[in-house]
Amino acid sequence: MTGTLKATVIYPVANSLVEARDSNFIFGSVGSGKAQLWINGAPVAVAPNGAFLAWLPVPAVDSPRYDIVAVSGADTARLEQPVRLKPPIVKLATDGSLLYDTASVLPGSRLALRDDDTVRVSVRTAPNASVVWRGDAGAAQALTAAGTSFAADMPARMLRARTELLLARGSDTIHVAVPPVGVALARQWATLGVDSAGADASDEELIGRPIPGGTYKWFLLPGTPLEVTGRNGDFSRVRLDSNLEIWVSTADLHALPGSWLPAKRVAGNARLVSQAEWVDLVVPMAARPPYFVDESTNELTVTLYDTMINTDIVNYGANDSLVREAKWTQDASDRGHFTLSLSQPAYGYLAFWQNGSFVLRVRRPPRIDASSPLRGLTIAIDPGHPPIGATGPTGLYEAVPTLAIGLDVQQMLESRGAKVFLTRTTADPVALGDRPIMARKANANALVSIHLNALPDGINPFTSNGTGAYYFRSQSVPLARELQRAMVSRMGLRNLGINYDNLRLARPTWMPAVLCEGAFLMIPEQENALRTPEFQKLYAAAIVDGLESYFRSLSAR
């Protein structure tokens, strides 16, 4: 392409913060494939369509910008792209004046914990300094050094008042205030989320995390009463049972009156209720339990926290082809679990509360005709974005090819006898959180989300691009493997493997759900290919191949 010479930077956006400290990528276009390009003095390759992608040292602190010079014949185009840089890392030298890293001081503010909770008190300073914590009435404790890190674990009760760290080296001293740790009162109860029941309630994500701001591990029922035992910033610690405390968003909690008494959860006689499309395990008890469902190949296990199981009878109803056996175990005085042995691998489930019972609804896999595996199935296809999404060097916005690919998938699936539910068919935005709900309401047999990948700052795109698939539930692993295999085979890009990842479109439980990142929009050749119907059809055909082999594998069982 020999268009007009004009330098455009797509990324990093002007005046944005570059998160990397050593090297980072920059990409955009110079408008002409014939141009020569230099960025901060380094020569950069220009693709035939004028796109460029460079991996360069992060600009110097005293000149935080990219100077772009493109030359074509007698024409020169210049662009100055200013960026912001992270503050330099504090050098904690063994001489000069004593310094410490102000961002390293722990504990942080807005903590509330029990007296006997352990709190890490720490700071980074020069390795030849000494650090002593000092409290009221002469209380003191030396922090243990490991290089530049100094730390001590102390009970929260010692940190109720404003205390300090005394950093010293020779006559050089620094006093650093330690934020006081607030009190977590005993027997504070709250419900998580707003009381709602039935299978639809499973659409609300009430997330439990192993640490404040951490990953998503537990998904609890709206209206579950929980004891609140601590706070850290915007997160609250809640007790699931005597051996497990997790963190939830404080905004999700609704305080119960101080006089409120928790119901004792005792699981009564259970039953299996068979329907054409699913089997319900129904476990009556006095209040919604915190729970965790674990899928393994031919089993579903549901752990019930703060629950004593006293199930004398499990009624199986009519002889069921899916659930071979339901059994239960009490693991501790306030934790038990039910295990469902299945005749086939776990395929989908919903956990919800209904009429005074905890219900685990186990979905039957669809009946598959091996010669036409997709016939009669409903497949939800989610063309990724808008809102947000990546943009390539010449301005191709992720949501444009994902929709074109999604429409190709629809046409190919329909020609194989499947029904297709698309989460969007236009350029209008659809909220991320609505998409999995739409797929469940469509009763889809599988959900595939179509995306194009981008990298975070500081990762070399030349060595890290390719094709990946993302799952979150164990039941989605076989579909993720089939989609990945088909994408690599059809599109011929580097195989980045499948990934367990906490993504909204990978989290549904009612069907196998996989998010595909088939190619990288920031790579000039891949962006260019993604503009073509031919490559879009390769991506689409790969999704269809992957779905077809996955469902064919179900017919063999």
Q: What residues line the site for Zn ion (CB under 5 A)? A: 384, 451
* Tokens 């709602």, residue located: 196
Indicate the residue among 208 and 384 with the shorter CB distance to Zn ion.
384
- Sequence-separated contacts (24+) of 138-142 with Cβ below 8 Å: none
CA distance 28 to 56: 14
Shortest distance in whole angstroms from residue 384 CB to Zn ion: 4
Q: Is 135 exposed, middle or buried (0-12, 13-18, 19+ CB in 10 A)?
A: middle
Contact 345, 298 (CB under 8 A): yes
**Pairing state between β 335-342 and 323-332:** antiparallel
Shortest distance in whole angstroms from residue 521 CB to Zn ion: 9
CA-to-CA dists, residue 307 to 213, 256, 353, angstroms:
27, 20, 15
**Pairing state between β 149-155 and 118-124:** antiparallel
CA distance 315 to 328: 13
Shortest distance in whole angstroms from residue 401 CB to Zn ion: 11
Q: Is 372 exposed, middle or buried (0-12, 13-18, 19+ CB in 10 A)?
A: middle
Indicate the residue among 239 and 451 with the shorter CB distance to Zn ion.
451
CA distance 297 to 225: 32
Shortest distance in whole angstroms from residue 16 CB to Zn ion: 19
CA distance 387 to 307: 42
Indicate the residue among 32 and 402 with the shorter CB distance to Zn ion.
402
Shortest distance in whole angstroms from residue 114 CB to Zn ion: 42
Indicate the residue among 25 and 66 with the shorter CB distance to Zn ion.
25
Indicate the residue among 384 and 461 with the shorter CB distance to Zn ion.
384
CA-to-CA dists, residue 288 to 97, 262, 356, 388, 427, angstroms:
59, 11, 8, 37, 41
Indicate the residue among 107 and 384 with the shorter CB distance to Zn ion.
384
Residue among 476, 470, 477, 557 nearest 516 (CA): 470
Indicate the residue among 361 and 451 with the shorter CB distance to Zn ion.
451
Contact 210, 247 (CB under 8 A): yes
Indicate the residue among 384 and 406 with the shorter CB distance to Zn ion.
384
Shortest distance in whole angstroms from residue 454 CB to Zn ion: 7
Shortest distance in whole angstroms from residue 293 CB to Zn ion: 28
Shortest distance in whole angstroms from residue 474 CB to Zn ion: 24
Cβ-closest position to Zn ion = 451
Question: Phi and psi (nearest 5°) for 88?
Answer: -60, 150
Indicate the residue among 230 and 384 with the shorter CB distance to Zn ion.
384
Indicate the residue among 384 and 466 with the shorter CB distance to Zn ion.
384
Shortest distance in whole angstroms from residue 383 CB to Zn ion: 10
Shortest distance in whole angstroms from residue 538 CB to Zn ion: 18
* Tokens 């709190």, residue located: 119
CA distance 74 to 346: 66
Residue among 145, 154, 142, 146 nearest 111 (CA): 154
Indicate the residue among 451 and 504 with the shorter CB distance to Zn ion.
451
Shortest distance in whole angstroms from residue 235 CB to Zn ion: 27
Shortest distance in whole angstroms from residue 455 CB to Zn ion: 12
Q: In this structure, what token pair is assigned to residue 318?
A: 């009519």
CA distance 100 to 82: 30
Which residues does 507 contact at the CB level (< 8 Å), separation at least 6?
205, 216, 219, 436, 472, 473, 513
**Pairing state between β 278-284 and 378-383:** unpaired
Indicate the residue among 267 and 450 with the shorter CB distance to Zn ion.
450
